[in-house]
Structure 1
């Protein structure tokens, strides 16, 4: 039984991510939790109001959010009729990151699925601010779905790695399950000018191979020109359906999230983007 958490702000982007998630796990038994965190809606426009007005607005937004979430869950039930799926809506008066982290810990969530942007997203940005915050701080794998892309089975999965990270077995198991379910090939892309690996890299590469027993795993190398361009070029040339990266200290993704922004670097995925967290859980 998979436990899937999907944040929603009731935007078209969020609805698209929900549809994608339901297709991805169509044949698996799964609990889907739809969470709406509304603290920012209350604090944002009403931070200068008096206490009584604030509480009134908080209750009004909470009630409206609950009604909208119940409507969403009922519509999904009527549309899907999937006996393998269970649906539940949750509203939370917290920030999105806090709400997601708390619920992830309480329900031992396997995967968080969300759109790359929300209602107020800047059209010039690749990822909305909430999505980037979730990438950075949520201790759970995150699958970001670009808006408007059709559902395609992930037959070709790109997994760039420098083999310097001791990956978490639980998260690799998630990747192995997806690869097995869709009979996918995982392309482990090593971006380096040198073929030789250190003893640490060899150990981590072997651990990666042992942890993906049900996947068709291939190891490929490309020379360093620009790591992000190399990833996007490989994605396009070999028709990848899913990009997988790991968020950890000293990783390529950390460099992209912390030292610069994804948009400045130019990562504009046209395929789903799975971020695995190498963080304590």
Structure 2
């Protein structure tokens, strides 16, 4: 028996206990629980499991700083956010569930909004009768024709969901998010990952820690 076998036996026992607890506390005939233990690099195993199980969503907890409640993305979380082909929902430490009635969606209108890409967000919003707060940081210039087209398409996509559009003056996107949240508490933050937006900056861990990504609510990234 090698170290990997000992480790896997221990984690399987812990996972079985967690599974039993979940089944007892959250009885729902629509839910089934499967446990999975592997002796592998965490990120690689998550990506393989996404592929093998055809996962629609990955939910991850994050440790954060010692005693902190805000979301500080660790290297494993960042790598999964970068590479996962499905939405990833990151849960801050010490977070207690609350219905996502208010959803903050910062965007720069530089992407094409499609129903398939936003299926998870729309399902969450419609299930919980949520309102989506669309936040755009203005850089002092009028929106281009393409941005206006994308904004109109997003408005149409959200036509069956309560939503509001917000414009804030030129500032760092993380500052804008923090300021918006301080004035109007949100239950869920949603962003789209694409190389043309501020999401790229969020994937650099030291930068996140330096500028203070003070998120105390779940954070979902759509690929």
State how many pairs are aligned. 220
Q: Which residue of 1 aligns with 2:216?
A: 270
Query: Hey, what's the Cα distance between the residues in 2 that align with 1:267 and 1:133?
Result: 17
CA 1:168–1:137 in 2, change beyond 3 Å: closer, same or farther? farther
2:173 is aligned, of 199, 215, 227, to: 227
Equivalent residue, structure 2, for 1:91: 37
Contact 1:177 1:214 survives alignment (8 Å): no
State the partner residue of 2:57: 111
Partner of residue 255, structure 1: 201
Q: Which runs of 5+ in 2 are unaligned?
A: none
**SS of alignment partner, residue 190 of structure 1:** strand
Q: 1:127 to 1:193 in 2, by over 3 A?
A: closer
Deviations 1:219-259 (A, max 9, x none): 11000133211111101201111111111112111122149
Q: Which residue of 1 aligns with 2:183?
A: 237
Report deviation, 1:110: 1.3
Give the corresponding residue for 2:133: 187
Which aligned pairs between 1:60-75 and structure 2 lie closer than 5 A?
Answer: 60-75=6-21
Matched, 1:139 2:85: yes
Distance in structure 1 (CA, Å) of the matches to 2:26 and 2:118: 29
Higher relative contact order (CA 8 A, sep 6+): 2
Aligned-residue CA RMSD (Å): 2.0
Which segments of 5 or more consecutive residues in structure 1 lack a partner in the other structure? 1-54
Say if 1:126 and 1:267, in contact at 8 Å, map to a contact too: yes
Contact 1:245 1:253 survives alignment (8 Å): yes
Aligned mate of 2:155, from 206, 209, 217: 209
User: 1:6-34: per-residue Cα shift (whole Å, max 9, x none)?
Assistant: xxxxxxxxxxxxxxxxxxxxxxxxxxxxx
| Runs of 4+ more than 6 Å apart | none
How far residue 128 of structure 1 moved from its aligned partner, in angstroms, is 2.5
- 2:124 alignment counterpart: 178
